[in-house]
Structure formats: C-alpha cells, structure tokens
Amino acid sequence: MTKTVTLAQGNGGAENAELISKIFYKQFKNEILEKSEDAAIIDGGRLAFTTDSFTVSPLFFDGGDIGKLSICGTCNDLAMMGAKPTYMTCAVIVEEGFSIEELETIVASMKKELEINGANIVCGDTKVVPRGAVDKIFINTTGVGIVQKRGISSNCVSTADTIIVSNEIGKHGATIFANREGMEFSSDLKSDCTSLWPLVEKLLAEGIEITAMRDATRGGVAAVLNELAKQSKVCIEVQEDALPVSDTVRGICEILGFEAYNLANEGTFILAVKSSDADRAVEILKTFEAGERAAVIANVTHQYDGRVILLSAWGSKRFMDLPTGELLPRIC
C-alpha cells in the first residue's frame, strides 16, 4: 500500500481493489459485504441495497450529465442483482457560485431517469460549501430495489455458463476523454450512459437463466471479468475479436495506447447465463437500442481458475489482467 491515496486507487482496477480490501473491508468485514456484489441482498433476500457517489468531469458530456449518471449508476447496480429500483436517496454537495440554471438541468435529468426506472427519491440532503471546497457539484445516490429473481450472484459462475456483453464497450470512457480534450469526430460518439432495468426486466420476463450480472463501469470489461473469475474461482476465456468495439473508440484507444476493454461504461453490462439460453438472451438484448450489439464473448473453464484469458484471432493467448494505473480520473 502507498502511504497516501493516489488517483490510481479510484480506477476500479488493481489498486482500487487493494485499497478496498486492505482499508475498508479490513474494518467493516461482514458476511454481506464480503460477497462483493453490485448491491447488497438484505431482508432475507427480498431487497437489494446500494449506494454510489458521482464526481464526473465535465459535468455535461455527450450522451448525458452528472444527474443522469447519478440515477443510472445506482439503479443499474440494483438491476444487476435482479432487483427493480424502487426507493432512492439523493445527497448533493454543491459549491458556492454554482449556476442555478445548470442545477435545474441536472435535477431534470435525474427526474427523467427515475421515471424510466419507476423509482422515486424519498429523502435526501443538500450541503453548500465555500467556493473552491469542491469541484462544482458532487452527488451521492442510494437505492433500494425489490428482488424479482433470487440467486443472481457473481460468486456462482460455472462452466455451465456462457459470458455475454450487452453492447459496444468503452464508449463512456472514450467520450469523457474526447469531451475534455475538445476532440471532434465525424461519428456520433457519445456515452452509453443509460438505465439498464428495462433490459434486465425483459430478460427475466422471458425466463432467461441468469447466473450473474455486473455493469462494466470503472475498470471496464476487464475489471468485471476478473472479478467474476476470482469470486467464482473459474477461468473465463474471452474471444478478443468477439468484443464489440466501435471504430471511433478503437481509434481513440490506438491514439492513447489504451485497450477498449479497460475503458469505463455506464450502460453496458456483462451477463453469465446458462449456455442453452445464450443465443436467446442475445436476441432479446438486441431488441433494445442499448443492446443492439450484444454478443457472446467468452466461455467458462477451469484452465486457470481466478484468471481471465484473452484469445486472439490468430490463436495466441494472454492474460487479461485487472487494469492498473489511472487511465481517466473523474469519469463517474
């Protein structure tokens, strides 16, 4: 561990995992927390409960803003546990001098996403701090959801499962970088920020046998796959050419030396489903704009338990490790 906190420890990758395990888990250790799910399952399995804080820069980006992100992020974590978002809290820390017009726009974005999820803000808190004490505005949201299907867990992936990604990867991270740097493209690159409950609700309604789900936010697809492999003690073998990546995101990655599977997403998730249901799950996802490039990307084996292997189109193999370092700070 470093002696002071670094930006890399907020990246959703290896340094972030170390910080959480050696500082927070060490003191807060309990049976529910140790499951390391996107949301805690409480009340005898009836409810899902989660919280998240948002500090994105810039506040307004192509495809969304911090308000939309703050609702999507928390509701999506509930959806990943098969829970319908229902009740939410909203806590805001806002800097003196912040534009009231922009604040109204942010809150209106939150309202729109609440309606999509069928959820309501039922309590909250607002703090105004002196100019310079925070960077414009920080938002925390906490959510409670009613579990629609029990047993979905990142600790239960097995060789009976196939791994699916719900859409193109890396779009949120690439968009934030492009917006910060003032880069303009002939394409319509924008963040994938969206609410995922409608997609999950449809999968559940159609009887898809879902083992695990996790949205690929900080650390991207690489972080999620490594978490699934480690928690379930399996090996996940990914077909590199099956990963859906847009030409624009691929181009940005080539310029910067990034891998698309390490970039953050805010409306793309990984599913482990029973292999017999994989093709049908992809077909269902493709009926949504947010799932139009859904694809099967990996199989589950026991070749190297706890690891993720990337299989190239040329037959070579290499480990897909947890991201390290800080690619893009302040992305969510």
CATH of 31-147, one of 3.30.1330.10, 1.20.140.10, 3.30.1490.100, 3.40.50.1220: 3.30.1330.10
Q: In the predicted model, is pLDDT for residue 183 greater than 90?
A: no
Say what the pTM is: 0.96
Give pLDDT tens digits for 97-124: 999 999 999 999 999 999 999 999 999 9
Per DSSP, the residues of 228-259 read: HHHHHT-EEEEEGGGS---HHHHHHHHHHT--
Instruction: Enumerate the β-bridge partners of residue 90.
Output: 124, 141
Nearest residue to 272 (alpha-carbon basis) of 319, 320, 315, 225 = 225
Confidence of residue 1 (pLDDT cuts 50, 70, 90): confident
CB 143 within 8 A of CB 49: yes
Give pLDDT tens digits for 273-327: 999 999 999 999 999 999 999 999 999 999 999 999 999 989 999 999 988 887 7
Can you identify the CATH homologous superfamily of domain 161-319?
Answer: PurM-like C-terminal domain (3.90.650.10)
Give pLDDT tens digits for 36-59: 999 999 999 999 999 999 999 999
CB 307 within 8 A of CB 300: no
Our separate counts of H helices and E strands in the chain read 9, 14
Q: For residue 67, report the phi and psi dihedrals to the nearest 5 degrees.
A: -70, -50
Q: What is the pLDDT of residue 186?
A: 67
Q: Where are the domains of the chain?
A: 31-147, 161-319
CB 169 within 8 A of CB 262: no
